[in-house]
Structures are given as C-alpha cells and as structure tokens.
Amino acid sequence: MKRSTTFAAAILAGAAVLSGCASNNQQPQQIGYISNDSSTYGTIDAITVVQARSGGSGVGAVTGGLIGGLLGNQVGSGGGRTAATVAGAVGGAVVGNNVENNRNAGKQEYQISVRMDNGDTRIINQDSVYDLRVGNRVRLIDGRLYRY
C-alpha cells in the first residue's frame, strides 16, 4: 500500500514539474481588436438602384384557384356545375397569381460594387444604403456593408 502511494505521489510531482515547463505560444487576445483581413475591407466603386425581382411562391395562385373553384361550384347543376367549378378554379388561379405578383413588385434594391483590398470586386445587394456613398471605405460583415 505504501509503495503505491509513493508511486502515485511521484507521478503527480513529475506532472507538476512538466506542466510548468510547457510553453503557450498563443498571442494574448485583445478586447476590441479587429483583424485587418483584406478580403473583408474595400472601397465602394458604384451604387446602382435595381428593381428587386422576387419569384412568386404560388400561394396566390393556389388560394385564388380554391376560392374560384368553390364559387364556381355554387353555379348550375350536373355537367354545368363541373364546368363552372373548373372555370372558376382556373380563373381564380390566374387572378390570385396576378395579385401576388403585383403585391411583390416595386421593391427597390441597391446593387453596390466594392473593390476589395485584396483586388477582388464584389457585388453586394442590400435593401438600403443608409450613409454609404461612392468612394467610402467599407467592411463586409455577414453579407452587408458598413462604413469603416
């Protein structure tokens, strides 16, 4: 028993001595330090206003088709009812699709051309430019540009 206790104490003492000799070559982290990564910094070359084109999700067409089909089903009887249901569904789908497209149209987006410090040119689309102007120094963070 005494022999195993002595052996365990010797191992712990050796580990303590070796851990004191270990070197940690990592640089201390500075709070607020920003890396000067040339792939995230640049200068605005151009800003262009473009119409944002978002594809329709199809919800308007489906909703319009259902409503049109229900309304068409209220008309006539027999074969006439079936024809009215189909016509109402098709007409409702067309109207619903047009309503959805009109609702999504007209949104403006800004296409910003940036010459990055590493020589690349990137085109970034944003919904607003706030205080960004051609010639401003900017930083790209998570797909958005901010003045630097």
Report if residue 32 sits inside a domain.
Answer: no
pLDDT in tens, 63-79: 888 888 888 888 878 88
Confidence grade of residue 18 (pLDDT, cut at 50, 70, 90): low
Mean pLDDT computed over 51-61: 74
3-class SS letters over 93-122: HHHHHHHHHHHHCCCEEEEEEEEECCCCEE
- The yes-or-no verdict on residue 127 having pLDDT over 80 is yes
Mean pLDDT score across all residues of the chain: 77
Examine the domain organization and report whether 134 and 65 are in the same domain: no
Task: Give the domain CATH number at 144.
Answer: 2.40.50
Cα dihedral 36, 37, 42, 48, rounded to 10, equals: -130
Specify the pLDDT at position 116: 93
Cα-flanking dihedrals φ and ψ of residue 106, to 5°? 90, 5
Report if residue 74 sits inside a domain.
Answer: yes
pLDDT in tens, 78-123: 888 888 888 888 888 888 888 887 777 667 889 999 999 999 999 9
- The yes-or-no verdict on residue 144 having pLDDT over 60 is yes
Strands 108-116 and 41-51: antiparallel
Which distant-in-sequence residues (6+ apart) come within 8 Å of 95 by Cβ? 64, 68
Alpha-carbon distance of 62 to 100, in angstroms, equals 11
- The yes-or-no verdict on residue 37 having pLDDT over 80 is no
Confidence grade of residue 137 (pLDDT, cut at 50, 70, 90): very high
- Provide the 8-state DSSP code for 55: -
Examine the domain organization and report whether 148 and 120 are in the same domain: yes
Examine the domain organization and report whether 111 and 47 are in the same domain: yes
Residue-range definition of the domain harbouring residue 86? 55-105
- Contact 106/93 with Cβ under 8 angstroms? no
Q: Length of the chain in residues, anyone? A: 148
Confidence grade of residue 4 (pLDDT, cut at 50, 70, 90): low
Alpha-carbon distance of 59 to 86, in angstroms, equals 18
Residue 4's alpha-carbon distances to 20, 39, 72, in angstroms, are 25, 59, 92
Examine the domain organization and report whether 46 and 113 are in the same domain: yes
Examine the domain organization and report whether 145 and 80 are in the same domain: no
Specify the pLDDT at position 57: 74
Specify the pLDDT at position 38: 60
Examine the domain organization and report whether 68 and 101 are in the same domain: yes
Alpha-carbon distance of 128 to 121, in angstroms, equals 20
Specify the pLDDT at position 25: 46
Examine the domain organization and report whether 118 and 147 are in the same domain: yes
Full-model pTM: 0.45
